[in-house]
Amino acid sequence: MDRAPADPVAAAAEPEAPGPDTAETSGRRPGVVTVVVGAVALEALALVVACGVLIGAWVTGGVDSVGSAVALVVLGLGFAAILGGSARALLRRRRWARSPIVTWQLLQGLAAFTAAGQFSAAGALAAWCVVGLSAVVVVLLLTRPAVRWTTDGTESAEGAGSRGRSGIVR
């Protein structure tokens, strides 16, 4: 049985192979991905520490509303677990890991921006540092090396079949 000649449109839609000197071809993780994973892991750790401080305040009687404290601890630990899992998935080149990380950065950055005017000078500086960190993580996560890290060679590993950029199975 003869095969049809190669479709030039389909060939043009195929992703280009990275150059020989890129981190993607050597299997090494790009530096931007390492920075993003480190920042996200630091944020997850900060959430766990904040939850620990809240639990300590609850135990010592420094919390006015126990229900609110429990809800904040559960929510904080849940977000920490999501961030930790997303950072781990990003290390494993999973494409889906970018979405929860970007979503968290947007929520965190907007909350810090909104709260920056409510604090003293030191608190406002800390809030602006959080806004800056969120912006840096989003920008780094959307750079070409980070996007390639999560898209090159992961289609077959995730069981999606042979798909081009258009998502059409060939």
Q: What's the pLDDT tens digit per position in 115-141?
A: 888 888 888 899 999 999 999 999 999
Q: Six-digit token pair at 20?
A: 């020989």
Residue 22 lies in a domain: no
Q: Which long-range contacts (CB under 8 A, 24 or more apart) does 13-20 make?
A: 13/164, 13/165, 13/166, 14/164, 14/165, 15/151, 15/152, 15/164, 15/165, 18/148, 18/152
Residue 36 lies in a domain: yes
Residue 69 lies in a domain: yes
Number of domains observed in the structure of the chain: 1
Pairwise pLDDT comparison (82 vs 27), residue with the higher score:
82
Q: What's the pLDDT band for 160 if we cut at 50, 70, 90? A: very low
Q: Give the pLDDT of residue 17.
A: 47
Q: What's the pLDDT band for 28 if we cut at 50, 70, 90? A: confident
Residue 158 lies in a domain: no
Q: Residues with Cβ < 8 Å from 86, sequence gap 6 or more? A: 40, 97, 100, 101, 104
Residue 125 lies in a domain: yes
Q: Give the pLDDT of residue 156.
A: 42
- As a whole-number percent, the residues of the chain with pLDDT over 90 amount to 59
Q: Burial of 86 by CB count in 10 Å (0-12 exposed, 13-18 middle, 19+ buried)? A: buried
Residue 130 lies in a domain: yes
Q: How far apart are CA 31 and CA 15, in angstroms?
A: 22
pLDDT single digits (tens) 57-108: 999 988 899 899 999 999 999 999 999 999 999 999 999 999 999 999 999 9
Q: What's the pLDDT band for 166 if we cut at 50, 70, 90? A: low
Q: Give the pLDDT of residue 7.
A: 53
What's the mean per-residue pLDDT of the chain?
Answer: 82
Q: Is pLDDT above 90 for 22? A: no
Strands (E), 35-105: none
34-69 exposure pattern, b = at least 16 Cβ within 10 A, e = fewer: eebbebbbebbeebbeebeebbeebeeeebeeeeeb
Residue 97 lies in a domain: yes
Q: Give the pLDDT of residue 120.
A: 85
Residue 20 lies in a domain: no
pLDDT single digits (tens) 31-49: 999 999 999 999 999 999 9
- Residue 117 DSSP class: G
Structural domain span for residue 77: 31-151
Q: Give the pLDDT of residue 118.
A: 85
